[in-house]
């Protein structure tokens, strides 16, 4: 009887040990004055059975014993994570930009020194009570990557996927395809994508740089071309450059409306080239799209139009084709065109014109955005008005968006002419 009890006790210990080893260990480090957000997120993440959150007292002890200052240093953050034997870090930081404060939370894989995901809010968040739930939902798909060992992790840098013809339509396709490809590759557990592909890094995020870590020196490089024929058929040719210097070419074709099918084919071919089998992490594209749309909305309200535009493009790429997303994409592009007006009054039409309000000779981006915003207005709204088979719930709203978009584009294009940029 004693032997049986002893065996049961050993089995229980083994099961408990395996459970603890299987748990993903996360440390949450917040800027001074933001500890309440750290506490809120600790409670939320602790609800997940496979996650173990390091106690704040343990973090403070390591910081004190090692005399580490985490202010604006990615190396120090990662050092703390290593000392704590954490798989992941959540960094919660405050930024000030254009006299406004923002709360930015990043999820970092300690083993690779890679930022996996980030979420931004105004400070304080509009709804503090839902903030930890939003962060948890944003980071959830990436938690499976935190346990990937250094020898299994594959770093990939997506460089340029360019069209042979430089037009607003093709630039839009380039961005949408790059986003679609990155989102698909991210779903593979062992693949880590350099953040540069996002092109949505917020203007104030320059002080934490994990992309210069040694992990990236041996990365695979992706670049290539994308072509569009008959306004519908897409052909993509991607060059994969391996760390040792070898190159291989991956090709896929499909329709403009099925970029996911093209990226699926390329991902399968890429995995074969690098000797990996498919191992997708749980991924809810709809939830991810909703989070990007939330970020885009608050960024627009804060007057951060470039950031708003990038975030809503990500939401659209992930499949959010709601009226809100369609309208916001046009609005954000229109304000990137002519951003001098405050967002809260952007709908108030003012036909006054001053050719010196914007110097387009020094800001070619304004002209590009003017043409792009008109392209999006046509695609997202004008091509979908009732006679095209679709109606919008808020007709007044889309008409106001159309008027402002046309006005902003007209101001910039006229200034382009008046300032002698056309010969």
pLDDT at 199: 40
pLDDT at 195: 59
pLDDT at 268: 93
Which run of H or E residues covers position 247?
strand 247-255
**Burial status of residue 156 (CB atoms within 10 A of its CB: 0-12, 13-18, 19 or more):** buried
With a CB cutoff of 8 Å and minimum separation 6, the contacts of 198 are: 182, 310, 314
- CA–CA gap between residue 282 and residue 262 (Å, rounded): 20
- CA–CA gap between residue 102 and residue 302 (Å, rounded): 10
Could you give the dihedral angle defined by the CA atoms of residues 74, 36, 48 and 46, in that order, rounded to the nearest 10 degrees? 100
pLDDT tier at 239 (50, 70, 90 boundaries)? Answer: very high
Is pTM beyond 0.85? Reply is no
- Identify whether the C-beta of residue 113 lies closer than 8 Å to the C-beta of residue 217: no
Instruction: Tell me the CB-side half-sphere exposure of residue 347, using CA atoms within 13 A.
Output: 9
pLDDT at 237 over 90: yes
Q: Which residue has the higher pLDDT, 421 or 176?
A: 176
pLDDT at 207: 46
SS3 400: helix
- CA–CA gap between residue 340 and residue 318 (Å, rounded): 30
Find which of 118-122, 208-212, 236-240, 259-263 is predicted with most confidence, using mean pLDDT.
236-240
pLDDT at 391: 63
CA nearest 116: which of 148, 83, 164, 84? Answer: 148
DSSP 14-82: HHHHHHHHHSEEEEEEE-TT-HHHHHHHHHHHTTSTTEEEPPHHHHHHHHHHHT---TT-HHHHHHHHH
- CA–CA gap between residue 52 and residue 86 (Å, rounded): 9
**Residue 128: other Cβ atoms inside 10 A:** 12
């Amino acid at each position: 009887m004693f032997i049986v009890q002893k065996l049961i006790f050993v089995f229980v210990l083994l099961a408990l040990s395996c459970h603890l080893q299987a748990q993903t260990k996360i440390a949450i480090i917040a800027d001074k004055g933001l500890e309440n957000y750290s506490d809120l997120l600790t409670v939320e993440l602790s609800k997940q059975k496979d996650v173990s959150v390091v106690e704040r007292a343990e973090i403070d002890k390591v910081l004190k014993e090692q005399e580490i200052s985490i202010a604006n240093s990615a190396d120090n953050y990662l050092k703390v994570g290593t000392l704590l034997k954490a798989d992941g870090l959540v960094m919660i930081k405050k930024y000030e930009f254009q006299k406004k404060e923002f709360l930015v939370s990043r999820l970092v894989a300690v083993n690779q020194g890679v930022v996996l995901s980030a979420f931004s809010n105004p400070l304080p968040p509009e709804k503090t009570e839902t903030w930890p739930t939003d962060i948890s939902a944003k980071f959830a798909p990436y938690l499976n990557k935190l346990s990937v060992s250094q020898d299994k992790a594959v770093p990939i840098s997506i460089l340029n996927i360019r069209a042979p013809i430089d037009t607003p339509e093709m630039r839009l396709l380039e961005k949408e395809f790059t986003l679609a490809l990155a989102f698909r590759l991210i779903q593979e557990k062992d693949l880590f994508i350099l953040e540069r592909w996002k092109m949505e890094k917020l203007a104030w995020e320059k002080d934490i740089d994990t992309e210069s870590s040694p992990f990236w020196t041996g990365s695979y490089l992706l670049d290539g071309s994308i072509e569009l024929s008959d306004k519908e058929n897409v052909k993509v040719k991607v060059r994969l450059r391996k760390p040792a210097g070898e190159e291989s070419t991956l090709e896929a074709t499909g329709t403009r409306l099925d970029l996911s099918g093209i990226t699926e084919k390329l991902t399968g071919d890429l995995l074969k080239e690098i000797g990996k089998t498919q191992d997708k992490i749980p991924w809810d594209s709809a939830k991810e799209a909703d989070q990007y749309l939330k970020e885009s909305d608050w960024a627009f309200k804060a007057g951060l139009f470039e950031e708003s535009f990038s975030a809503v493009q990500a939401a659209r790429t992930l499949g959010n084709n709601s009226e809100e997303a369609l309208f916001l994409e046009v609005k954000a592009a229109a304000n990137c065109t002519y951003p001098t007006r405050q967002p809260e009054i952007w709908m108030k039409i003012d036909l006054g014109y001053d050719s010196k309000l914007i110097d387009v000779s020094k800001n070619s981006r304004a002209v590009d955005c003017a043409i792009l915003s008109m392209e999006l207005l046509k695609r997202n709204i004008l091509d979908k008005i009732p006679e095209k088979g679709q109606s919008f719930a808020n007709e007044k709203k889309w008409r106001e968006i159309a008027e402002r978009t046309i006005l902003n584009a007209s101001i910039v294009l006229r200034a382009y002419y008046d300032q002698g940029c056309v010969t």
